[in-house]
Structure 1
Amino acid sequence: MSMTDKKSYAKVVQNGVQAVEAVNELRSAGYAKDDIFVLAHEQDRTERIADTSDANEIGIKEEGIFDAIANLFRSRGDELRAKIESLGFTKSEAAFYEKELDLGKVLVIARYTA
């Protein structure tokens, strides 16, 4: 993992413990706390993992106000894909990661910032 890559970094892990380890690895690699996010299929699980790992949830700042409002009316899958896309991933990448979340896995993302 290198900060010289020009794209956000994502890692799918099996559980919250592995998510905490991945967040710590990203910090050790030089990513700032504000640029590290976790995402799980269930909102409450996302919140718990974010709190435990001291990472962020994807919110209005990342999505923009219009997508955040639209998410109130979207299915959970559509909402998750929109959140993933808001951090610079393509529709097909977001669809892949959302399917992994459907299987109970956790997504750890380090946002690339210039």
Structure 2
Amino acid sequence: MATEVKVAATLEEAREAVQAFSTAGYGRDHVYVLTHDGEGTDFVAYQTGANEPGVKEEGFMNALANLFRSKGDQLRSKLESLGVGEAEAADLENELDMGKIVVVASR
């Protein structure tokens, strides 16, 4: 699976990243946003027209396991379910900790 990632500092940058992925040929159903908290992710997904990683992407067992994981483990798990490698997911978790928005496109 081909996966591309952009890190945005603002909602506007996240919109631009979603649009850039769309222009590059990624369908909206293959573009995801993630913030450090669920409410932020909901808001950014709504504002940008992107998706949130969910059970479909994570798989039922992984989504269930996330109920018992730390926030950092949950975020890394969601990123990895979208095709991001383990080391990059750890780096992106740090970006999320600093309030950034991660935009992921996967085919």
TM-score bin, normalised by smaller chain: over 0.9
Identity, % of aligned positions: 47
SS in 2 for 1:30: coil
For residue 76 of structure 1, report the CA deviation from its aligned partner: 0.9
Counterpart secondary structure, 2:25: coil
- 1:14 paired to 2:9: yes
Residue in 1 that maps onto 2:38: 43
The alpha-carbon deviation at position 63 of structure 1 amounts to: 0.3
Q: What is the TM-score of this pair, normalised by structure 2?
A: 0.96
Secondary structure at the aligned position of 2:32 is classed as strand
Counterpart selection for 1:108 from 86, 103, 107: 103
- Structure 1 residue 102 displacement after superposition: 0.3
Match for residue 50 of structure 2? 55
Q: Secondary structure, in 3 states, of the residue corresponding to 1:31?
A: coil
1:27 to 13, 22, 26: 22
Tell me which stretches of 4 or more aligned residues in structure 1 moved more than 2 Å: none
Structure 1 unaligned spans of 5+: 1-5
The amino acid across from 1:104 in the alignment is G
Aligned residues: 107
Structure with the largest fraction of helix:
2
